[in-house]
Structure 1
Amino acid sequence: IEFFVVQGQLLANEMAPRVHNSGHWTIEGAETSQFENHLRAICGLPLGSTQARGYSAMLNCIGTMAARDNSLAVTGAHYHDYGKQARPGRKVGHVTVRSDTPANRQQQLETLQTATDL
């Protein structure tokens, strides 16, 4: 379930029995990704830990993918191209960065944004 707080009120925006775009950072950033835990849940298996592994951030690629080589040149960056046809407003991929400190993660984000125009 995706929630927003709008003018002090809790608004349920979307309910989807699937993994959600906002959790794609868990692929690199959590002990067990949302994808693995989804499979575990539907198979009746015990869920894995969702403990964060360091500090992560995800930049969405909307309309077009970030430059692959520039993205991967950033230490700790992980490039995810969904193979979707590019068009305005469509999420076509994301780039995740992960670090051991918030300061390093912020530096990675700034470098990534400069290198890729995200």
Structure 2
Amino acid sequence: MTSQFEQHIRAICGLPLGASDALGRVRMENLIGDDISHWQKILSDPYAHLHHYGKAAAKPGRKMGHVTWVEPED
């Protein structure tokens, strides 16, 4: 429910921590090189969250971003 990044900020600011209950099945995939060019297809999935790192040029082996999916439990 609360991302690891928000939890980190809450912790270092002395704020109460948020709920960490799972929202569903989660998976993550790195986008390497030209994988980033498939961003439109990725975003056609309603459970996908694209994290584009904004690097100017895709190169073989270069991590360009990642996708996380949070899918509801069956």
Is this a same-fold pair by TM over 0.5?
A: yes
Displacement, 1:50?
Answer: 1.8
Alignment of 1:27-42 (within 5 A): 31-42=1-12
Indicate how the Cα distance of structure 1 residues 83 and 67 shifts in structure 2: closer, same or farther if over 3 A, else same: same
Answer 1 or 2: higher relative contact order, Cα 8 Å, separation at least 6: 2
Superposition CA RMSD, Å:
1.8
Q: What 5-or-longer segments of structure 2 have no aligned partner?
A: none
Aligned residues: 72
TM-score normalised to structure 1 length: 0.53
> How do 1:9-48 residues align onto structure 2 when only pairs under 5 Å count?
31-48=1-18
Letter in 1 for 2:6: E
Gapped regions of structure 1 (runs ≥ 5): 1-30, 103-118
User: Aligned residues: percent identity?
Assistant: 51
Instruction: Letter of the 1:73 partner, please give it.
Output: S
TM-score by length of 2: 0.79
Q: Tell me, yes or no, if structure 1 residue 63 matches structure 2 residue 40.
A: no
